[in-house]
Amino acid sequence: MNGDTCAARAVVIVGASLAGLRAAQAIRDSGFDGRLVLIGDEVHPPYQRPPLSKAVLAGDAHPDEAALAADLDVEWRLGTRATSLDPVRRVVGLDDGEVHYDRLVISTGTFARPWPSDTPLPDGVLTVRTRDDAVELRERLLGGARVVVVGAGFLGCEVAAAARGLGLPTTLCDVTETPMAVLGPQVGGAYSALHAERGADLVLGSGVAGLDGGDRLEAVRLVDGRSVPADVAVLALGAVPAVDWLEGSGLPVQDGLVCDATCTVEGFPEIVACGDVAAWPHALAGGEIVRIEHFNNASQQGRHAGEAVLLPHVERQAFDALPSFWSDQYDVNLQVLGFPRRAMRTVLVEGDVGERRFVVAGVRGEQVVSIAAVGAPARVRAYRKLLARPVTLDEVRAAVAADAKGLGST
């Protein structure tokens, strides 16, 4: 290690998440033998979030199975909340004291977007973000309940699929016209049909006006005046970056913690960020600031941040891994590459939407900025290679036409 690295005798990681754990592993793998502190506001060691809305809710896996291997030489500060940051003194304020750092990794992730009202909510209104959230919802589902899911994004659709898999009356609501609308009408239409076939009641194109009941939830009231009976309402309204503890610190916060391309917080070379909380310019997004809330990004960016934080800023490399994520709903797999929110239109490039085995390209101008593969996991590797550099729709179509292993040949 160089002299600048050796000068760092205390590295603190705020956020005992997947990203935080991967950062800690990378720091130790880099040869750092100083004090390494990992702070997390949950009492649980780091765990994977994807199983929480899939196998755990369905009753196919115990919550403990989501735990990540954490046999690591770190000072664990679990059940401890970061409350402030003083970058001049290089001190993280905690709810039980403070800790000094030479280098700092911020991996605090996000929290579930709350219901937009100060009125107390009736019992039965839940979110799914943490391990404890998933355990509580699982107990209610396994006990039998009428379920309404508010929000038909990826998480909401997975929760609805788990509830229907348990045979529960399930309604999926959203103001959008199709589930996972960000992926376009082809994917949304296919999953609308899938959920309907499996017995879910889809209420799309209408917002939710209220959550009715006394002490316990009784119904979800829609903007159009309808009332849907419910024992459990799962709020899947998106996520909010966990940056409230940084207020007054001077760190740049704008829908996340703003970093440069190396994941270094702008203006603070001794601080890096990773995972759901990090916002940084990505080369494949045309240099635009992006923030990504998925497993693969947290894992890869966590390792990158752990390696970078020990280096002088001028020696750090840009983090430009191609984003990817997946969703399993019923028996249909969805895999996504790139930046679907940047797409201006979506185009079917191979397969059949009716058979739920197809690939859609998200296009901005002439550039393909995302790929969504439904029921076609074996095709993802080929598209990953294509999207490793800027590529046009014509180039993708030509590559598909020349590929003997395409969906049309099987």
Indicate which CATH number applies to the domain containing 262: 3.50.50.60
Residue 120 domain-assigned (yes or no): no
pLDDT of the residue at 69: 65
Between CA 48 and CA 217 the distance in angstroms is 30
Query: Comparing 31-40, 57-66, 343-352, 355-364, which segment has the lowest mean pLDDT?
Result: 57-66
166 lies in some domain: yes
Lowest-confidence range among 31-40, 132-141, 249-258, 349-358?
132-141
- Last residue within a domain, chosen from 266, 282, 315: 315
Last residue of a domain, one of 235, 268, 285: 235
| pLDDT above 70 for 409 | no
The domain in which residue 357 lies consists of 331-409
List the CATH number of the domain containing 371: 3.30.390.30
Check pLDDT > 90 for residue 337.
yes
Give the count of domains, the chain.
3
Flag whether 322 is in a domain.
Answer: no
CB within 8 Å of 394: residues ≥ 6 apart: 366
Amino acid present at 233 = A
* pLDDT at 62 (0 to 100): 73
Rounded percentage of the chain residues whose pLDDT exceeds 90: 83
Q: What is the mean pLDDT of residues 380-402?
A: 94
| pTM for this prediction | 0.93
36 and 92 housed in the same domain: yes
- The answer, yes or no, to whether residue 400 has pLDDT greater than 50, is yes
Same domain (yes/no): 174, 272? no
Q: How many Å from the N-terminal Cα to the C-terminal Cα in the chain?
A: 52
Indicate if 106 and 254 belong to the same structural domain: yes
Give me the chain's average pLDDT, please.
Answer: 92
Share of the chain above pLDDT 70, in %: 94
Please indicate, yes or no, whether residues 171 and 245 belong to a single structural domain of this protein. no
Residue 115 and residue 113: Cα distance in Å, rounded? 7
Tens digits of per-residue pLDDT, 170-197? 999 999 999 999 999 999 999 999 999 9
* Domain shared by 181 and 258, yes or no: no
Q: Are residues 106 and 252 located together in one domain of the fold?
A: yes
Whole-angstrom CA distances from 117 to 114, 120, 127, 210, 215 are 8, 8, 15, 10, 17
* Confidence band of 2 (pLDDT split at 50, 70, 90): very low
62 located within any domain:
yes
| Dihedral sign (CA 2, 7, 10, 15) | negative
User: Pick from 289, 315, 341: which residue ends a domain?
Assistant: 315
243 plus 100 within the same structural domain: yes
Closest CA to 302 of 14, 22, 12: 22
The values of phi and psi at residue 367, to 5°, are: -85, 140
Reported for 187-193, long-range contacts at CB under 8 A and 24+ positions apart, including other chains, are: 187/334, 187/346, 187/360, 187/372, 187/374, 189/353, 190/353, 190/356, 190/358, 190/374, 191/157, 191/329, 191/332, 191/334, 193/356
* 53 assigned to some structural domain: yes
Q: Give residue-wise pLDDT tens across range 38-91.
A: 999 999 888 887 766 667 777 777 776 667 766 799 999 999 999 999 999 999
Residue-level pLDDT at 5: 44
Question: Are 227 and 253 in a shared domain?
Answer: no
* Mean local confidence (pLDDT), 356-363: 97
Q: Please state, in angstroms and rounded to a whole number, the distance separating the CA atoms of residues 374 and 359.
A: 6
Chain segment 8-22, per-residue pLDDT in tens = 799 999 999 999 999
Q: Region 353-379: what's the mean pLDDT?
A: 96
Q: Are residues 216 and 264 in the same domain?
A: no
Q: How far is CA 65 from CA 69, 267, 290, 396, in A?
A: 10, 40, 31, 39
Answer yes or no: is 325 within a domain.
no
Q: For position 408, what pLDDT does the model report? A: 53
By mean pLDDT, which of 4-18, 296-310, 387-401 is the weakest? 4-18
What's phi and psi for 399, nearest 5 deg?
-65, -40
Mark whether 231 and 261 lie in a shared domain: no
Tokens of 306: 């752990």
Mean pLDDT of 96-101: 97
Same domain, 243 and 231: no
Does the structure show a pLDDT above 90 at 311? Answer: yes
Asked whether residue 226 falls in the same domain as residue 243, the answer is no
Helix (H) or strand (E) holding 147: strand 147-150
Choose the weakest-confidence range: 4-8, 166-170, 356-360, 396-400.
Answer: 4-8
Does 390 fall in a domain?
yes
- 183 in a domain, yes or no? yes
